[in-house]
């Protein structure tokens, strides 16, 4: 990572933030004095807001660029023999090498859904790309399993406790109730395709190409499901629980105000607020950047100082996702949650790939699958804001 590149982007980010505050203050004065804001001021404000988003995106791309492992670097730590056999399968469909390794007990190569488990180097690249780009994976709890489901136990009710001397009689304690929640994993697939002619080109790193294509498609499907999924053959999203999550409502014309954000923050139990984060769409984030506290006159939002530091809202980390809804009537548009306590992602180990040169000639398709589930495990750790 080039420090000069990071410093340049951080300086530009801070400059844009100062300009945004100055321009928004000018807009607020115009509203107070004339009852309306100058269109030139509004246009300038929109441009600076977009520039801020672009600077944050650039810093994020720098971070992701350095986080991604190279296939060759990963391979030096993995089973080279299996990688060579798997690459031969990708290029020519020759699975003899993989089969021989399986017979020798040197590899667990056959996926339960058919095809073969991708080699460790490919798996690492796909997993790193997904983890680095998934906001919900950054925030939520993650459990890896080798079966088709995972049971989450949660306790309810009151449990007695207290201080006693060594010889004192212990009172009989009340027993709480345990709830068991089963989170199933669901199959997600990607099927990138390419011509055999391009596969035969020695200059093309076919493992890298397939890894990047698969990661991109898995990521898009997962991101949407973890937030909006209905739970039918996919994870159940955090917004799919309706009345099971407490929602605060804003009576407005599509605009959120500072008081609503403050009320949302204080509606979350203190045992969750210390680890909480905000999640919203970029359109909402641009609105929130302009909000000021009525008591102090200070802006509620502040930018992160570098690529690894999140922006904050009321001092709480704030993240944006294109899968979050934009504000509309009777719809949730802002989440405040201790995501690690609230939501669990369940991954079944392994990614399987099946080479298909037959069904869409002249293309070769790489049918790739993994299994993943997700659901809310503690609705008390989540609050949402609705119009």
Whole-angstrom Cα distance, residue 335 to residue 351? Answer: 31
Q: Is 182 exposed, middle or buried (0-12, 13-18, 19+ CB in 10 A)?
A: exposed
Confidence class for position 328, pLDDT limits 50, 70, 90: confident
Which candidate, 276, 229, 281, places its Cα nearest to that of 380? 276
pLDDT at site 147: 92
pTM exceeds 0.95, yes or no? no
Token pair 């570098």 in the structure block, residue:
306
Are 87 and 207 in contact by the 8 Å Cβ rule? The answer is: yes
What mean pLDDT comes out for the span 224-235? Answer: 96
Confidence class for position 213, pLDDT limits 50, 70, 90: very high
Which candidate, 386, 376, 132, places its Cα nearest to that of 284? 386
What mean pLDDT comes out for the span 337-359? Answer: 95
At 109-157, the pLDDT tens digits run 555 556 888 988 899 899 999 998 999 999 999 999 999 999 998 765 5
pLDDT at site 180: 85
Helix/strand/coil for 96: helix
Confidence class for position 368, pLDDT limits 50, 70, 90: very high
Whole-angstrom Cα distance, residue 4 to residue 297? Answer: 34
What mean pLDDT comes out for the span 185-199? Answer: 94
pLDDT at site 322: 93
At 46-96, the pLDDT tens digits run 998 888 888 777 777 666 666 555 555 444 444 678 888 888 899 988 888
Judge whether residue 236 has pLDDT over 60: yes
Least trusted range by pLDDT, from 6-15, 31-40, 109-118, 359-368: 109-118
Judge whether residue 45 has pLDDT over 80: yes
- Please provide the distance, in angstroms rounded to a whole number, between the alpha carbons at the two ends of the chain: 42
Judge whether residue 1 has pLDDT over 60: no
Helix/strand/coil for 373: strand
Q: What is the percent of the chain where pLDDT is above 90?
A: 46
Q: For residue 210, count other CB atoms closer than 10 A to its CB.
A: 23
Are 153 and 178 in contact by the 8 Å Cβ rule? The answer is: yes
Q: What is the mean pLDDT of the chain?
A: 85
Whole-angstrom Cα distance, residue 36 to residue 27? Answer: 8
Are 219 and 133 in contact by the 8 Å Cβ rule? The answer is: yes
Which candidate, 122, 129, 123, 126, places its Cα nearest to that of 67? 129
- Residue with the larger pLDDT of the pair 161 and 241: 241
Q: Give alpha helix (H) positions in 229-269.
A: 258-267
Are 348 and 117 in contact by the 8 Å Cβ rule? The answer is: no
Whole-angstrom Cα distance, residue 184 to residue 118? Answer: 23
Judge whether residue 176 has pLDDT over 70: no
Structural domains of the chain, ranges and CATH numbers in brackets: 77-155+175-234+349-375 (3.30.2400)
């Amino acid at each position: 990572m080039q420090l000069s590149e990071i410093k340049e982007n951080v300086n530009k980010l801070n400059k844009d933030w100062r300009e945004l505050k100055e321009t928004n203050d000018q807009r607020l004065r115009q509203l107070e004095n004339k009852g309306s804001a100058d269109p030139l001021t509004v246009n300038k404000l929109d441009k600076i807001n977009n520039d801020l988003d672009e600077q944050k995106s650039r810093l994020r791309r720098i971070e992701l660029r350095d986080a991604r492992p190279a296939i060759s670097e990963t391979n030096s730590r993995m089973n080279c023999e299996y990688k060579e056999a798997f690459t031969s399968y990708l290029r020519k469909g020759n699975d003899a090498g993989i089969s021989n390794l399986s017979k020798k007990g040197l590899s667990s190569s056959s996926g339960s859904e058919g095809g073969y488990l991708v080699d460790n180097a490919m798996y690492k690249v796909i997993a790193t790309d997904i983890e680095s780009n998934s906001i919900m994976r950054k925030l939520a709890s993650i459990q890896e399993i080798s079966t088709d489901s995972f049971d989450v136990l949660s306790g309810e009710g009151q449990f007695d406790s207290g201080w006693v001397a060594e010889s004192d009689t212990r009172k009989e304690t009340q027993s709480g109730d345990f709830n068991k929640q089963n989170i199933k994993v669901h199959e997600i697939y990607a099927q990138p395709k390419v011509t055999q002619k391009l596969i035969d080109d020695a200059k093309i790193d076919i493992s890298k190409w397939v890894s990047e294509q698969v990661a991109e498609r898995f990521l898009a499907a997962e991101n949407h499901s973890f937030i909006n999924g209905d739970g039918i053959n996919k994870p159940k999203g955090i917004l799919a629980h309706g009345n099971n999550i407490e929602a605060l409502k804003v009576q407005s014309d599509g605009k959120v105000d500072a008081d609503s954000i403050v009320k949302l923050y204080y509606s979350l139990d203190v045992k969750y607020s210390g680890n909480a984060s905000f999640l919203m769409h970029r359109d909402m984030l641009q609105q929130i950047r302009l909000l000021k506290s009525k008591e102090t006159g200070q802006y509620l939002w502040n930018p992160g100082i570098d690529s690894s530091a999140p922006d904050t809202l009321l001092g709480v980390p704030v993240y944006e996702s294109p899968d979050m809804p934009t504000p509309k009537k009777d719809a949730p548009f802002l989440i405040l949650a201790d995501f690690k306590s609230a939501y669990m992602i369940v991954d079944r180990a392994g990614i399987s790939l099946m080479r298909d040169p037959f069904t869409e000639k002249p293309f070769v398709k790489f049918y790739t699958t993994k299994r993943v589930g997700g659901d809310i495990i503690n609705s008390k750790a989540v609050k949402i804001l609705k119009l």
